[in-house]
Structure 1
Amino acid sequence: MAYARDPNSDENDSNRRLYNPYQDLQVPTKMLYKLPTSPEFLFPEESRAQRRSWGENLTYYTGIGYLAGSSAGAAKGFKSGIKSIEATDTMKLRINRILNGSGHTGRQIGNRCGIIGLLYAGLESGVVHFRDSDDVISSLVAGLGTGVLYKAASGPRSAAVGGAIGGVLVGLAIAGKQALKRYVPI
Structure 2
Amino acid sequence: MADPRIFGGGDDADRREQPGRRLYNPYHDLHVPSRTLYDLPTAPEFLFQEEAVAQRRSWGENLTFYTGVGYLSGAVAGAAVGLRRASAAAEPGDSLKIRVNRVLNSCGQEGRRIGNRVGVIGLLYAGLESGMVAVRDSDDWVNSVVAGLGTGVLFKAANGPRSAAVAGAIGGLMVGAAVAAKQIVKRHVPI
Superposition TM-score tier, normalisation by shorter sequence: 0.7 to 0.9
Cα deviation code 1:25-78 (max 9, x no counterpart) = 858362332222221112211111111111111111111111111111111110
Deviation at 1:162, TM superposition (A): 1.1
Which stretch shows the higher mean deviation, 76-85 or 36-45? 36-45
Secondary structure of the corresponding residue to residue 32 of structure 1: helix
CA distance in 2, matches of 1:86, 1:40: 58
Aligned-residue CA RMSD (Å) = 2.4
TM-score by length of 2: 0.86
Cα separation, 1, equivalents of 2:20 and 2:86: 71
- Determine if the alignment matches structure 1 residue 108 to structure 2 residue 121: no
Aligned partner of 2:4 in structure 1 is: none
Aligned counterpart in structure 2 of residue 69 of structure 1, from 71, 74, 88: 74
The higher radius of gyration belongs to 2
Unaligned runs of 5+ in 2: 1-7
User: Which residue of the other structure, out of 83, 90, 103, is the alignment partner of 1:98?
Assistant: 103
**C-alpha distance in structure 2 between counterparts of 1:11 and 1:64, whole Å:** 63
Residues 9 and 126 (structure 1), Cα distance of their counterparts in 2 relative to 1, 3 Å cut: closer
Structure 1, unmatched stretches of 5+, are: none
Counterpart of 1:163?
Answer: 168
The TM-score normalised by the length of structure 1 is 0.88
Q: Which has the higher helix share?
A: 2
What are the Cα deviations for residues 149-186 of structure 1, in whole angstroms up to 9, with x where unaligned?
A: 11111111111111111101101111111121122221
Q: Aligned pair in 2 of structure 1 residues 55, 11: CA closer, same or farther (>3 Å)?
A: farther
SS of 2:38 mapped into structure 1: coil
Distance 1:79-1:25 versus aligned 2 partners, 3 A rule = farther
Partner residue in 2 for 1:181: 186
Displacement of 1:4 after TM fit? 5.3
| Paired AA for residue 46 in structure 1 | E
Q: 1:12 to 1:63 in 2, by over 3 A?
A: farther
Match of residue 10 from structure 1: 17
Q: Percent same amino acid among aligned pairs?
A: 58
Q: Supply the AA of the counterpart residue of 2:157.
A: A
Q: Of the candidates 144, 154, 157, which is equivalent to residue 149 of structure 2?
A: 144
Deviations 1:121-144 (A, max 9, x none): 010000000000100101011001
